[in-house]
């Protein structure tokens, strides 16, 4: 990664995470955005088109689409067509349950990636997290997508429940010709309530780091640079990309540093009422995020590999920015070492 | 690099101007490439309308830098981009 060029400031994000609706037909216990019902303030089709127009003019390369469940929006596929016509790549995160043959056919486009969520390798392990019947419905969607040879990843959130299933998940993904992607669990949305129950232990995070270093084909997006080892150095980011490479747009048009920091204090502006370009360049929230320094990490031998880790986890667990990610590899190792202070 | 060639982006590749030069995005991956080309190359060059020889003439006139030096820089950059599968000459 060209960190020094990123630090010079990019004229636009490389990708924008866009949560297109809160509406969802599932009610996953770790949902990052507490999705369920549609919010009446969600952007209209015309508003979404105006946003796409501006982001395309700025040459944003990719949208990471999420929600809610994107396919709950009746205009969703039309909006994706609109983005593709402007050359924007879309990576669509979906629970998969609404994908039928017709939708799969329409998703067969060279600029589309699909990411289907699954949090266990069997109905017994997946459905308690994502809802009854969801495992079966996801496998059906994977079959439809495979008929069109559409590039698919199976996305699993790392929790105490999914951690023991990783090898089986890897096999399942391979059986469907899909990649496995593992995402970090963050305490936002409904994840705030389930955090203490579901977040992996320090031992599990260390074991996961080791597992990742032996499974280089497993992708992690921007999730696990805080626990990445040398083996994965060239596979992705080694720092938080919020406000530098990426940012998030909420269903109502709120612009935030990332999907996990959709809090009022981090709202940088609202589109399409305000210009996205101005928000990206001028917002005090974004400027302060770009200047965020995690001083306590700078002397760490792993600083070059993670630059302090995920600010969202630090914020949600300690209500502070500018401090170390509590789940970074170094902190997990420290947690294992007994405190031998003589009192 | 061929002086008489113009260059276009490969399918799935996009490019935009940045303060340091050019930022390439390759859909396969996806992957980013940072090219510190400053003002020597801009994204419009990759629309494939201008042969390298014309670009070279223009840059020599604009910058008054030695022709050989600019040609070497262009050759290194374009060959590297072509080698990574981001552009092709025509």
Instruction: Quick: pLDDT tens for A161-183.
Output: 999 999 999 999 999 999 999 99
> Is the confidence at residue A223, as pLDDT, over 80?
no
Average pLDDT score over residue span A267-279: 98
Average pLDDT score over residue span A27-51: 93
Average pLDDT score over residue span A191-220: 91
CA–CA gap between residue B46 and residue B24 (Å, rounded)? 11
Mean of all residue pLDDT scores within chain A: 91
Mutate to test the interface with A, among B15, B20, B22, B35 (most CBs of A within 10 A): B20
Q: Which of residues 82-111 of A touch B (CB under 8 A)?
A: 87, 89, 110-111
Q: In what order do the strands lie in the sheet with A269-270?
A: A179-184, A152-158, A112-117, A89-94, A62-66, A15-19, A246-249, A254-256, A269-270
Whether A11 contacts chain B with CB within 8 A: yes
Average pLDDT score over residue span A305-324: 86
Positions in chain B whose pLDDT score sits under 70 = none
C-alpha dihedral over A227, A225, A305, B29, to 10 degrees? 140
Please report the pLDDT score of residue A340 as a whole number.
54
Please report the pLDDT score of residue A256 as a whole number.
98
Backbone angles phi, psi at A122, to 5 degrees: -140, 160
- Please judge whether A5 and B34 are an interchain contact, meaning their C-beta atoms are less than 8 angstroms apart: yes
**CB A114, CB A154: distance < 8 Å:** no
A99 burial via Cβ count (<10 Å: 0-12, 13-18, 19+): buried
In percent, how much of chain A has pLDDT > 70?
95
- Encoding tokens for residue A174? 């391979």
For residue A62, the chain B residues in CB contact (below 8 A) are: 25, 30
- Please judge whether A14 and B14 are an interchain contact, meaning their C-beta atoms are less than 8 angstroms apart: no
For residue B32, the chain A residues in CB contact (below 8 A) are: 1-2, 14
CA–CA gap between residue A28 and residue A24 (Å, rounded)? 10
For residue A110, the chain B residues in CB contact (below 8 A) are: 11-12, 27
Please report the pLDDT score of residue A207 as a whole number.
92
- Please judge whether B23 and A1 are an interchain contact, meaning their C-beta atoms are less than 8 angstroms apart: no
Whether A234 contacts chain B with CB within 8 A: no
> Is the confidence at residue A257, as pLDDT, over 90?
yes
Which pairs count as long-range contacts for A204-210, CB under 8 Å and 24+ apart, including other chains?
A204/A160, A204/A163, A205/A327, A205/A329, A205/A332, A206/A329, A206/A332, A206/A333, A206/A336, A207/A163, A208/A158, A208/A163, A208/A166, A208/A182, A209/A329, A209/A332
> Is the confidence at residue A15, as pLDDT, over 90?
yes
Average pLDDT score over residue span A306-319: 87
- Please judge whether A12 and B36 are an interchain contact, meaning their C-beta atoms are less than 8 angstroms apart: no
CA–CA gap between residue A67 and residue A259 (Å, rounded)? 10
pLDDT tens-digit map of A45-80:
999 999 999 999 999 999 999 999 999 999 999 999
Alpha carbon A69 to its chain's center? 14
- Encoding tokens for residue B2? 């061929």
């Amino acid at each position: 990664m060209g960190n020094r060029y990123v630090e010079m400031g990019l004229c636009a994000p490389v990708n924008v995470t866009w949560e297109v609706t809160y509406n969802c037909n599932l009610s996953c216990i770790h949902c990052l955005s507490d999705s369920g019902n549609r919010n009446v303030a969600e952007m209209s089709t015309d508003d979404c088109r105006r946003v796409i127009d501006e982001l395309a003019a700025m040459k944003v390369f990719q949208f990471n689409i999420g929600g809610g469940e994107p396919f709950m929006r009746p205009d969703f596929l039309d909006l994706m067509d609109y983005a593709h016509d402007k050359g924007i790549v879309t990576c669509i995160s979906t629970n998969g349950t609404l994908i039928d043959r017709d939708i799969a056919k329409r998703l067969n486009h060279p600029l589309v990636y699909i990411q289907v969520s699954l949090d266990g390798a069997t109905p017994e392990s997946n459905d308690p997290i994502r809802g009854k019947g969801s495992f079966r419905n996801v496998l059906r969607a994977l079959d439809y997508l495979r008929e069109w040879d559409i590039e698919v990843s199976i996305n699993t959130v790392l929790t105490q429940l999914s951690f023991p299933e990783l090898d089986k998940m890897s096999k399942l993904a391979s059986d469907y010709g899909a990649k496995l992607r593992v995402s970090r669990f963050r305490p936002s949305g409904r994840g705030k309530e389930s955090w203490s129950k579901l977040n992996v232990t320090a031992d599990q995070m260390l074991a996961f780091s080791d597992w990742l270093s032996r499974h280089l084909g497993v992708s992690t997006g921007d999730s696990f640079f805080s626990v990445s080892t040398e083996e994965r150095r060239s596979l992705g980011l080694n720092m938080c990309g919020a406000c530098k490479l990426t940012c998030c747009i909420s269903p109502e048009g709120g612009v935030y540093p990332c999907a996990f920091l959709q809090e009022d204090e981090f709202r940088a502006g609202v589109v399409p009422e305000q210009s996205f370009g101005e928000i990206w360049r001028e917002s005090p929230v974004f400027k302060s995020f770009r200047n965020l320094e995690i001083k306590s990490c700078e002397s760490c031998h792993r600083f070059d590999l993670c630059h302090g880790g995920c600010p969202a986890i630090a914020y949600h667990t300690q209500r502070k920015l500018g401090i170390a990610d509590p789940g970074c590899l170094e902190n997990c190792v420290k947690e294992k070492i007994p405190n031998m202070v003589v009192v | 690099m061929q002086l008489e060639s113009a260059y276009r982006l490969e399918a799935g590749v996009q490019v935009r101007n940045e303060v340091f030069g050019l930022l390439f995005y390759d859909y396969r991956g996806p992957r980013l490439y940072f090219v510190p080309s400053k003002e020597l190359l801009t994204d419009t060059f990759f629309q494939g309308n201008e042969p390298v020889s014309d670009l070279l003439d223009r840059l020599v006139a604009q910058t008054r830098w030695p022709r050989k030096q600019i040609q070497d820089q262009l050759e290194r950059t374009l060959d590297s981009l072509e080698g990574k599968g981001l552009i092709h000459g025509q």
